């Protein structure tokens, strides 16, 4: 967790946020039944909340991955960036919404091997891209493609890294508290 305590954003609500953030928050509440703490804080700057929301939605709709694969990308980025908030949130989403097998989510969370070779390749490539700041080795690329992914999927991984980097960095700086809904999947990197 972040040790910077000199920063404190005001938590926004649908009623107090600026019109752009308010609309995003309302749409989020309509879609998932809640407004995550991260959104309530990001709402202080509509450019960030709008950019995050738009990138998140288009990744989900257009990156070429199944819902479980999308979650694996997000969890793998959050693991590499050590984002406790996103690990909890996306573990919850994987469990309840995108049907990621618990053993896969737990393998990412615990830094152990994923049993499914294709999903393992996706996680390893995403982690390599994140940790190497977009400079994978030829071996990283070859292993990813050999698992059945395409060059287009590399582009999708890049999009997923962009989305999660926005949220991971935000959560680091502002020490976003984990929502009650996600507390069953709280995570601390070992």
- Tens digits of residue pLDDT in 153-172: 999 999 999 999 999 999 99
pLDDT at 111: 97
CA distance 44 to 87: 23
pLDDT at 5 (0 to 100): 59
Distance (Å, whole) CA 141 – CA 179: 36
Q: Is the pLDDT assigned to residue 45 strictly greater than 70? A: yes
pTM here? 0.94
User: What's the mean per-residue pLDDT of the chain?
Assistant: 95
Token pair recorded at residue 26: 């309302």
Task: For each of the domains in the chain, give its residue range(s) and CATH number, in order of start.
Answer: 11-62 (1.20.5), 64-185 (1.20.1290.10)
pLDDT above 90: residue 50:
yes
Direct distance between the N- and C-terminal alpha carbons of the chain, in angstroms, rounded to an integer: 13
Residue 16's closest CA among 41, 51, 48?
Answer: 41
CB 167 within 8 A of CB 117: no
Q: What is the mean pLDDT of residues 71-81?
A: 98
**pLDDT on residue 109:** 97
Q: Residues 87-100: pLDDT tens digits?
A: 999 999 999 999 99
Q: Is residue 9 pLDDT above 60, yes or no?
A: yes
If phi > 0 it is left, if psi is from -120 to 50 it is alpha, else beta; for residue 82 that is: left
Helix, strand, or coil here: 171?
helix
pLDDT of 61 above 80: yes
The fraction of the chain above a pLDDT of 70, given in percent, is 97
Cβ partners under 8 Å of residue 7, min gap 6: 173, 174
**Residue 143 pLDDT class (50, 70, 90 cuts):** very high
What are the structure tokens assigned to 39, written together?
């959104």
Residue 122, CA distances (Å) to 34, 69, 82, 84, 112 in order: 30, 8, 18, 21, 14
């Amino acid at each position: 967790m972040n040790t910077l305590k000199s920063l404190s954003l005001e938590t926004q609500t649908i009623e107090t946020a600026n019109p752009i953030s308010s609309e995003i928050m309302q749409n989020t509440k309509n879609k998932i039944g809640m407004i995550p703490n991260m959104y309530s804080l990001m709402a202080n700057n509509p450019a960030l909340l709008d950019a995050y929301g738009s990138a998140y939605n288009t990744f989900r709709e257009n990156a070429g991955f199944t819902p479980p694969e999308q979650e694996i990308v997000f969890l793998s980025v959050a693991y590499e960036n050590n984002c406790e908030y996103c690990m909890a949130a996306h573990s919850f989403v994987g469990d309840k919404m995108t049907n990621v097998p618990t053993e896969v989510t737990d393998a990412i969370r615990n830094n152990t091997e994923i049993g499914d070779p294709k999903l393992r390749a996706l996680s390893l490539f995403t982690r390599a891209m994140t940790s190497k700041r977009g400079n994978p080795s030829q071996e990283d690329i070859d292993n990813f493609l050999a698992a059945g992914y395409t060059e287009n999927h590399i582009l999708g991984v890049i999009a997923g890294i962009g989305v999660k980097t926005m949220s991971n960095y935000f959560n680091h700086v502002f020490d976003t508290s984990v929502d009650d809904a996600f507390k069953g999947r709280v995570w601390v990197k070992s």
